[in-house]
Structure 1
Amino acid sequence: MEQPIPHLPKPDENMPPDHLLLAPGRAMRTHFFLNPGSYEDYPLYTNGIEEASRNSPTWYHSYHARHGLLVWLISGEVSYRIEKKHYLVRPGLPLFIPPGYEYYFETTEQCGYQKFVAFFQGVNLPSILETLKLNQPIQLSLPQTDPLPRKLRLLRILIRRRPPDHIMRNAGLTMELLMTLSEAIPRPQEKSLFLRLACEKLCGNFEHPESIASIAWTLGMNERTFTRLFRAQMNQSPHRYRMQRRMESACELLTRTGFSVKEIAFQLGFCNSFYFCSQFRREFGMTPTQFRRNSGQKKNSVTTPSC
């Protein structure tokens, strides 16, 4: 069994398991639930925001975190221990802890600190964290001017007001927070993780396409937030992106298969071949039949070398 950190007194039997209840200062924590189980099946949301200010030695031990936690220091410093690894959290160096981890934190010799702690939940939280590479404890480097504290305060306002229609705004802000953390992870150059997930969803099944609203719901946000984030990174709407990919698939099918125009339209999820042909003409300036004929002529014009 690990020994307590040397410069803190060892709790005795008459002392609670953590020192938070005895430490001078204030901690304001709010919960999103209107009643137990209100959002048990919701994909993603912030369940609570704690804004804590302490000015004396403080410690706390959690044996199994039920939430995903984001720790953001406004001032001071706090030492965290997660599975024997230590993290010194300071302003600009936030710490993210996924659900299920045991963690312990304590003040340093400075004692005083002011911090935000966000508590994330949702049935899709594990898969979202895995996609965003946030499925293990990680400390990141963000500038102190980062708008993250402003978003945390806005979430706290939404949570305190508790109107049912604010859950979608809560979910959208939560996803933005997680993506901000994900994009701060040092990694080789690659497509944005949000874009990779969004593009996979948009192009996953053309025959039975998932609606934009459904994709946004899966990612824990409303359609408006999803569209805004996608457009900001791709300079086009999700609808436009999906249509371009469908047209690319149409060209591939027209060139390499013998499927009829009607069959191709069905495979790509168009309600009928007339709508497919009109979209194809708008994209390429010719009908699918003309495109197939031109592609065939180009193939036939290539001569096979003699032996």
Structure 2
Amino acid sequence: MSINLEIRRYGGADRHVHDYSQVLFPLRGAMRVDIEGRTEVVASNCVALIPRDHVHDFAPTPDCRFMVVDVDVAALSEERLPALLRAGEPSLTRLDPWLWRLFRLLGDEVEADGQRAREAVHLVMSGLQLVRPGEALRPRRKAEQRILGVACAYGEGSEGGSVGDAARAAGLGQSQFHALFRATVGLSPKQYRLAKLFGRAVDRLVETADPISAIAYDLGYQDVSSFNRQFRRRFGMTPSQLRRGDRPAPGG
């Protein structure tokens, strides 16, 4: 079969290489991926590409769970290949919430019934046609790799730890940690933690029927309207619209 879809859990480091390309969709947790020295954290609302013949390794969080699509690129015609797979370079692409919600629901269907994988793989490949490749991964210096290792766990759980704790884990002073974190991840520690917070909000909206007010309170918001405003500002839609599966209006 030229395309295979599975739900996988990763237990730890296992450096290896494939003769096919691999697309990773995070369903739960996060994973630091090292592809021939090019390192990034793969977490909610994104898709990662590991092209064929690229040596790679993983450092997952304990709750890590991914939908993985293995694609024999050489066996598919050019028309069937999404742009993401034609790029041929390791990449990480942030997804619009409505599109990520589609992939997430497909992953949940396959996890509930593995026999659905053959049906889901065609929908996943169709969905990938809507994804434009994001930033290609670049080689990381050792200090940057330490930052990414910390970022993978930073913001997990109800508290997520302090910036001081994260800086100590990276072996850096707070001011140096802030500067290197922003340079490496593209966000400040506070912004990154907020992004993971909203990622968990999206998980709850997709996975559960919990009231939006309960989700907001559990994430530390005392004012539901503030949560709704920040959610809309970030995603271009309200939590209710995301839960219904709405697509954001152009420019919204």
Q: TM (normalized to structure 1)?
A: 0.35
Instruction: Indicate the structure with greater helix content.
Output: 2
Length-normalised TM-score, structure 2: 0.42
